[in-house]
Amino acid sequence: MTFQPLFPHLTGHNLAVGWAPFDALQGESDPDEWQDIANAAPPRQKEFIAGRQLVRALSESLSLPRHALRRAEDRSPVWPADRAGSLSHCKTLCAAAVGRHPHYRGVGIDIETIGRVDSKLWPTLFTDSEINYFTSVEPALRDAETTVFFSAKEAFYKCQYPMTQQWVGFQDVELQRVDSATLSIKPAKRDAQLWHQPPIHSFQVDAAHIVTLMLIPA
Ligand SMILES: CC(C)(COP(=O)(O)OP(=O)(O)OC[C@H]1O[C@@H](n2cnc3c(N)ncnc32)[C@H](O)[C@@H]1OP(=O)(O)O)[C@@H](O)C(=O)NCCC(=O)NCCS
């Protein structure tokens, strides 16, 4: 298998989630997909190919047929009608999730390197209540926790986008820790919608990386 499975308690016949290093995910790219990346710089081509290879492997694990994953004008992925999914890259690793239609209305995944959310960025990325929470977290765990919160907002954004087609700012939503593996999200100023209801799952892949995942069931 070219990927390491993630969130085994959530996956099965209708959902596959995994991660892998870029170097394990290279190979011949789909000619249609290549059209979306042909003019990009080589590092971007490498991460793009890795993401598509991972999506392909996850789709195959669900016995879904091979299908190009093209990129829309707004840069979001155009999933074929038989599946919904999401993908993410950090500097060397890629994570993705693929759900079988019609079981998921939204899927959002994000992978991040721990320690890049400098405290100078907190007022931009986090609400007052989130920042208050970080100050209560043990200093040794704070980098990982701020990375999880940043990642969870990115996963949420990707998950809700196919339904809403809407931009969401970092101050527009607020996260709360539910337990060591789960967060909840709510809008900061508006009424909650369907896409605020499911939990966001977090998992530390290794000493330096975390992954977050949000799923909106059908
Ligand atoms: C779109 C965005 C979330 C991507 O995240 P990122 O950390 O820059 O990059 P990642 O590697 O994690 O994810 C990139 C992948 O996201 C996917 N993506 C891009 N735009 C997307 C969108 N609107 N909806 C869903 N998925 C999207 C693509 O598959 C892309 O990979 P690809 O270009 O190789 O296909 C980010 O660039 C962005 O615009 N964020 C601002 C909005 C936001 O996050 N708000 C948070 C508050 S809720």
- Specify the residue with its C-alpha closest to ligand 1, atom 3: 154
| Ligand 1 probe mutation, 157, 165, 190, 210, most atoms within 8 A of CB | 157
Residues of the chain with CATH 3.90.470.20: 110-217
pLDDT at 194: 95
Q: What average pLDDT values come out for the chain (218 residues) when binned by 10 residues?
A: 92 97 91 96 96 97 97 96 97 97 96 96 98 96 97 98 95 97 96 96 97 97
pLDDT at 1: 59
State if residue 202 touches ligand 1 by the CB under 6 angstroms criterion.
no
DSSP category for residue 61? H
pLDDT at 29: 87
Burial of 22 (0-12, 13-18, 19+ CB in 10 A): buried
State if residue 106 touches ligand 1 by the CB under 6 angstroms criterion.
no
Q: What angle do CA 7, 10, 13 make, to 5 degrees?
A: 115
DSSP category for residue 38? T
Residue 61 CA to ligand 1 center (angstroms) comes to 24
The residue written with tokens 């940043």 in the block is 150
pLDDT, tens digit, 9 for 90 and up, residues 105-160: 999 999 999 999 999 999 999 999 999 999 999 999 999 999 999 999 999 999 99
Residue 158 CA to ligand 1 center (angstroms) comes to 6
Residue 87 CA to ligand 1 center (angstroms) comes to 8
Closest CA to 36 of 51, 21, 25: 51
- Specify the residue with its C-alpha closest to ligand 1, atom 20: 76
CATH of domain 110-217: 3.90.470.20
Is 0.95 topped by the overall pTM?
yes
Averaged pLDDT score across all residues of the chain: 96
* Minimum-distance ligand 1 atom for the alpha carbon of 69: 35
State if residue 160 touches ligand 1 by the CB under 6 angstroms criterion.
no
Structure tokens, 131: 């920042």
